[in-house]
Amino acid sequence: MSRIASVLLPMPLPEAFDYAEPEGMALEPGDQVAVPLGPRLIRGVVVELRDALGGNRPLKPVAERLDDPRLPPGTVAFVQWAARYAVDAPGQPLAIALRGARAPKPRPVRVVELTGAPPARSTPARTKVLAAAATPMPPADLARAAGVSSGVVKGLIDEGVLATREVVAEARFDAPDLSLTGATLNESQAAAADALKAAAVAGFGVTLLDGVTGSGKTEVYLEAAAAALAADPEAQVLILLPEIALTQAVIARVAARFGAQPGEWHSDVAPPARRRVWEAVAAGACRIVVGARSALFLPFRRLKLIVVDEEHDGSFKQEEGFIYHARDLAVVRGRIEDAAVVLASATPSLESLRNAETGRYAWLRLSARHGTAQLPDITLIDLRQTPPEAGRWLSPPLVAAMAETWARGEQTLLFLNRRGYAPLVLCKACGERLCAPDTDSWLVEHRYTGRLVCHLTGFSMPKPAACPHCGAKDSLVSIGPGVERVEEEARALFPDARIAVFSSDTVFDAREARRMVETMAAGEIDILVATQAAAKGHNFPNLTLVGVVDADLGLRGGDLRAAERTYQLLAQATGRAGRRDRPGRALLQTYAPEHAVMQALKAQDRDAFVAAEMGERELAGLPPFGRLAAVVASGPDIAQLDAFVQGMAQAAPNTPGVEVYGPADAPLGLIRGRRRKRFLVRADRGVDLSAYMAAWRARVRPPGQIRVAIDIDPYSFL
Ligand code: ADP
């Protein structure tokens, strides 16, 4: 009997499409195939095969089974689960899962090698080439390695002593060397490692590895990885990190611990290299992957352990396209694959802490730094009492501390989570605030490039000489500080110090990030001015002072997690100080020293802060005690959008335990020329919120120009 193949395509379609399986193709679920869609052939994945019962309309046949690795059943199940959870088309997560499969193949390179024929004559230059040619390499590299001109190599090729050959660089994923051992663990680390090693070989279960910065969480989870890899010769381990800069540090530690380079996966990896990792993961040859959130969608064959490091970090939330939280989906993938999941953080999310408190997650705590390293002293600088001079941002106590630190030959980190020179440009003649033309956001001044930039959309323009509103000349003033401006001030204060800025404007890619971190770790920078890119996870042994330029910054947004996020970010930033044997200190500049977040940071009393914050959330039924979903409807025409969201409000299903708020103007009411309206849905924990949202979504038919985006468990409220 002939069969029907349901094929999922990596595009926003509501469901898989049916095709006829041609005679003899012998498809299996997970196969990558080419199928006709309109006039084109599209790559898709077979998700189901069933017998054709006849009588149906004839189906188009599958055009071809592609000679690419099959998606393992766990990956297909995960993609489908993720789509249902996110109330989105399954083709969206599938597109992420196929990103590596669709990347171009690595191109072959021409190398030269010895043929065995002797040279007609011997010269010192030729002898050097013959010695270096033992390893095949491109001709230019060979000439360089031998220290001769390229003519010498060419001569030997012409003579037949060397021959050229095209090779595709092999994916080199060495097996981890399990005879290597890690650091000698201290007592509490050893206890945590034992528990985690047991968990790592026990199948699905979630452990919260909760330890202060510098307590050795990485050492401990690498032991769990070793245990998982040793227990099963095919086991695979995934380590997820929130920042590319952090992946670099962890890759180096994994490589040292296991004597093998792990697979690296993030947006900065070149497409051919990505394809190599993807195929090696599918083949089971790559056993350790270190990557950013989308690594969760790789086609693992035998995933046994997932580590989500810095699990509290907001960067795990993907906000555009397919909207998901990699920490939450890591737990799902773990369940599907029967893999252990470790969530590591010094400042866990309230969601994870709640799961630990209720016993759903195991909870391991490391309360002290390793060895003699101490947590830094934290002092609040009340900017109302000791303000900086006019037009400056560093207060006298912070400047004094920087001077002492520099005099001792130690390093300072100035933390300000704001890129550019100034967050606002204002006309002092007419009061106009310069905004992006099609978006509700201020233009940020960047002095390195002389441009005004919209951080939301990337729009930029040269800084005008006159106010675009009133035409006044030389009337534009820069308001407030960004990292570039703090750098300028630090340079004026310490002209002889070596000063650098670490932000996504100065550090563009993984290699730059690694270089900057190494330069800092080597003590070659005296003052590092940094956004959050540098404030997380790194170990800088000679860093003894952290100055937080604007501790109140994150509190101003006022959303659900403002206090939690500020606490986490500042605890991480201040945790950079004093990692080795030198005591560190952190100074926080604030206008609100009495705020609960500042008091908790000062007292280093995370538990009290968490308890207070949990209490407030519980009263309001907010996460982790209730659940939220957001809807953003957007469109170019405000009247049409208004009518649509009014209709959408009417269509909201009535379900006990669910409240719908809105529609309301989104705080960012205009992005790229599209008006935006929001709903917020709050539900009790027991409600299947995804099903509720899917039912609601099915009741509305947005006109062509209107887009409806659903965000389950939202982190952004803009
Ligand atoms: P965390 O991940 O909790 O921030 P790390 O694992 O990065 O902590 O450890 C912080 C620093 O202390 C690192 O430089 C690490 O190599 C070192 N360290 C931690 N535990 C040990 C140990 N048992 N022996 C030697 N060095 C250790």
Convert the pLDDT of each residue in 421-469 to its tens digit: 999 999 999 999 999 888 888 999 999 889 999 988 889 999 999 999 9
* Residue showing tokens 């100065």: 506
How many A from CA of 346 to the centre of ligand 1? 13
Please work out whether the CB of residue 635 comes within 6 Å of at least one atom of ligand 1: no
Structural domain boundaries enclosing 155: 109-167
Instruction: Give me ligand 1 centre to Cα 371, in Å.
Output: 9
Q: Are residues 27 and 48 in the same domain?
A: yes
**Do 250 and 120 share a domain, yes or no?**
no
For the chain, the domain total comes to 5
- 3-state DSSP percent of the chain in helix, strand and coil, to 5: 35, 25, 40
Domain CATH for 597: 3.40.50.300
The contacts of residue 631 (CB under 8 Å, 6+ apart) are 648, 662, 678, 679, 681, 693, 708, 709, 710, 711
Residue 275 makes CB contacts below 8 A (sequence gap 6+) with 100, 101, 103, 104, 105, 106
- Percent of the chain clearing pLDDT 90 (strictly above): 71
Asked whether the beta carbons of 6 and 46 are under 8 A apart, the reply is: yes
Domain for residue 448, yes or no?
no
Task: With a cut of 80, say whether residue 373 has pLDDT above it.
Answer: no
Residue 423 lies in a domain: no
- In this structure, is residue 85 part of a structural domain? yes
Question: Which pair of structure tokens corresponds to residue 48?
Answer: 């189901």
Say yes or no: 210 and 263 in one domain.
yes
Distance, CA of 162 to CA of 310 (rounded, Å): 52
Residues 214 and 326 in one domain: yes
Q: How confident is the model at residue 520 (pLDDT cuts 50, 70, 90)?
A: very high
Read off the tokens for 510.
Answer: 């993984």
Task: Please list, in sequence order, all residues whose beta carbon lies within 8 angstroms of the beta carbon of residue 563, skipping any fewer than 6 positions away.
Answer: 555, 596, 597, 613
Residue 634 Cβ < 6 Å to ligand 1? no
Q: Nearest to residue 444, comparing CAs of 458, 464, 425?
A: 425
The response to whether residue 182 sits with its C-beta less than 6 Å from ligand 1 reads no
Q: Is the CB of 186 under 6 A from ligand 1?
A: yes
Q: pLDDT at residue 576 above 90?
A: no
Task: Identify which has the larger pLDDT, 433 or 243.
Answer: 433
Strands 444-446 and 451-453: antiparallel
Which amino acid type is present at position 621?
A: G
pLDDT computed for residue 335 by the predictor? 98
| pLDDT band at 135; cut points 50, 70, 90 | confident
Confidence of residue 548 (pLDDT cuts 50, 70, 90): very high
| Section 662-673 average pLDDT | 90
| 5 Cα to the center of ligand 1, angstroms | 51
Q: Can you tell me which atom of ligand 1 is nearest the CA of 373?
A: 12
> Which single residue is written with the structure tokens 């279960």?
205
Q: Ligand 1: distance of its center to the CA of 588 in Å?
A: 25
Mean pLDDT score, 265-294: 94
Over 70: is that where the pLDDT of 537 sits? Answer: no
Give the pLDDT of residue 470.
94
- What is the rounded average pLDDT of the residues 119-134? 88
| 453 domain residue, yes or no | no
For the cut 80, the answer to whether the pLDDT of residue 197 exceeds it is yes
pLDDT in tens, 22-77: 999 999 999 999 999 999 999 999 999 999 876 667 899 999 999 999 999 999 99
| Residue ID of nearest Cα to ligand 1 atom 23 | 185
pLDDT at 675 over 90: yes
Q: How far is 557 from 609, CA to CA, in rounded Å?
A: 19
- 319 & 251 share domain: yes
Write down which residue in 589, 614, 639 finishes a domain: 614
Q: Is the pLDDT of residue 177 over 80?
A: yes
CA R_g for the chain:
29
CATH code where residue 53 lies? 3.40.1440.60
Q: Is the pLDDT of residue 558 over 70?
A: no
Q: Across residues 505-511, what is the average pLDDT? A: 82
Q: Is residue 178 part of a domain?
A: no
Which amino acid residue places its CA nearest to atom 25 of ligand 1?
A: 183
Q: Which amino acid is at 609?
A: F
Atom of ligand 1 nearest to the CA of 219: 6
Place 506 in a pLDDT band, splitting at 50, 70 and 90.
confident
Rounded Cα–Cα distance for residues 72 and 298 (Å): 10
> Is the minimum distance from the CB of 217 to ligand 1 under 6 angstroms?
yes
Sheet holding 40-51, edge to edge: 17-20, 3-8, 40-51, 32-37, 64-65
Weakest mean pLDDT among 17-26, 265-274, 551-560, 624-633: 551-560
Residue 441 to residue 460: CA distance in whole angstroms: 12
Helix residue ranges, H only, 161-319: 187-200, 217-231, 244-258, 271-283
- Ligand 1 pocket check for 152: Cβ under 6 Å: no
C-beta atoms surrounding 243 within 10 Å: 23
185 close to ligand 1 (CB < 6 Angstrom): yes
Q: What are 113's two structure tokens? A: 């090698």
pLDDT of residue 440: 85
Q: What is the mean pLDDT of residues 219-238?
A: 97
Q: Tokens 């912070």 sit at which residue? A: 398
Rounded mean pLDDT, 614-625: 93
Question: How many whole angstroms from 94 Cα to the centroid of ligand 1?
Answer: 37
Same domain, 579 and 661: no
Question: What is the C-alpha to C-alpha distance for residues 25 and 498, in angstroms, rounded to an integer?
Answer: 65
Over residues 292-317, mean pLDDT: 96
Q: How high does pLDDT run on average in the chain? A: 92
Is residue 430 one of the residues assigned to a domain?
Answer: no
Q: How far is the CA of 288 from the centre of ligand 1 (A)?
A: 20
Answer yes or no: is pLDDT of 375 > 80.
no
Atom of ligand 1 nearest to the CA of 253: 16
Q: Is the peptide bond before 104 cis (omega within 30 degrees of 0)?
A: no
DSSP character for 434? P
Phi, psi (deg, nearest 5) at residue 73: -55, -35
- H or E stretch including 525? none
**Residue 556 belongs to some domain of the structure:** yes
> How confident is the model at residue 579, as a pLDDT?
64
Task: Tell me the helices (H) and strands (E) count for the chain, helix number first.
Answer: 21, 31
Q: Is 216 in the pocket of ligand 1 (CB under 6 A)?
A: yes
Q: What is the pLDDT of residue 103?
A: 87
Q: Where on the phi/psi map is residue 214: left (φ > 0), alpha (ψ -120 to 50), or beta?
A: left
Indicate if ligand 1 lies below 6 Å from the C-beta of 370.
Answer: yes
Q: Would you tell me how many other CB atoms lie within 10 Å of the CB of residue 626?
A: 20
- Phi then psi dihedrals of residue 633, to 5 deg: -105, 135
| Cβ-contact 685, 626 below 8 angstroms | yes
Find which of 136-140, 259-263, 513-517 is predicted with most confidence, using mean pLDDT. Answer: 259-263
Mutate to test the pocket of ligand 1, among 219, 343, 536, 574 (most ligand atoms within 8 A of CB): 219
252 Cβ inside 6 Å of ligand 1: no
196/150 same-domain check: no
The better pLDDT of the pair 424, 533 is held by: 424
Range scoring the smallest mean pLDDT among 47-56, 384-393, 707-716? 47-56
Percent of the chain's residues with pLDDT above 70 = 98
Q: For residue 678, give the H/E element and its range.
A: strand 674-684
Whether the CB of 219 sits within 6 Å of ligand 1: yes
| Shared domain check, 134 and 277 | no
At 169, the pLDDT band (50, 70, 90 cuts) reads low
pLDDT in tens, 311-340: 999 999 999 899 999 999 999 999 999 999
What values do phi and psi take at 644, rounded to 5? Answer: -65, -45
Q: Please give the average per-residue pLDDT across 644-649, as a whole number.
A: 96
Do the Cβ atoms of 349 and 310 come closer than 8 Å?
no
Residue 293 has pLDDT above 70, yes or no: yes
E strand or H helix that includes residue 349: none
The domain boundary residue, chosen from 303, 338, 366? 366
Tell me which residue has its CA closest to atom 9 in ligand 1. 216
> Domain for residue 586, yes or no?
yes
Distance 308 CA to ligand 1 centre (A): 17
**Range with the poorest average pLDDT among 77-81, 93-97, 442-446:** 442-446
Q: Which of 275, 350, 382, 398 is nearest to 561 (CA)?
A: 350
CA of 366 to the centre of ligand 1 (A): 12
Backbone angles phi, psi at 171, to 5 degrees: -70, 115
- Environment class of 292 (CB within 10 Å of its CB; exposed 0-12, middle 13-18, buried 19+): buried
Indicate whether residue 215 lines ligand 1 (CB < 6 A): yes
DSSP letter for 33, please: E
Inform me whether the pLDDT recorded for 271 exceeds 80.
Answer: yes
Six-digit token string for 341: 């999941």
* 699 phi-psi bin (left φ>0, alpha ψ -120 to 50, beta other): alpha
Work out which ligand 1 atom sits closest to the CA atom of 220: 6
- CB-based contacts of 55, cutoff 8 Å, min separation 6: none
**Whether residue 634 is found in the same domain as residue 592:** no
Instruction: Decide: 70 in ligand 1 pocket, CB within 6 A.
Output: no
Residues 50 and 117 reside in one and the same domain: no
Closest to 420 (Cα-Cα) out of 465, 388, 450: 450
Question: In this predicted structure, what is the pLDDT of residue 491?
Answer: 97
Q: Alpha-carbon distance 4 to 119, whole Å?
A: 64
> 504 CB under 6 A from ligand 1?
no
Using most ligand atoms within 8 A of CB, pick from 218, 254, 372 the residue to mutate for ligand 1. Answer: 218
CB atoms within 10 A of CB 390: 5
Please give the Cα distance from 224 to 194 (Å, whole number): 8
Confidence of residue 170 (pLDDT cuts 50, 70, 90): low
What's the average model confidence in pLDDT over 162-175? 80
The reply to whether ligand 1 has any atom less than 6 angstroms from the CB of 405 is no
pLDDT of 258 above 90:
yes
- Give me the mean pLDDT over the 406-428 stretch: 93
C-beta 578 within 6 A of ligand 1: no
User: How far, in Å, is the centroid of ligand 1 from the Cα of 238?
Assistant: 20
The minimum-distance atom of ligand 1 relative to the CA of 539 is 14
Single residue among 366, 387, 406 that ends a domain in this structure: 366
Q: How far is the CA of 547 from the centre of ligand 1 (A)?
A: 23
d(CA 192, CA 362): 11
Take atom 5 of ligand 1 and give the residue whose Cα is closest.
216
> Are 396 and 527 in a shared domain?
yes
Query: Do 336 and 385 reside in the same domain of the chain?
Result: no
Answer with the residue of higher pLDDT: 27 or 116: 27
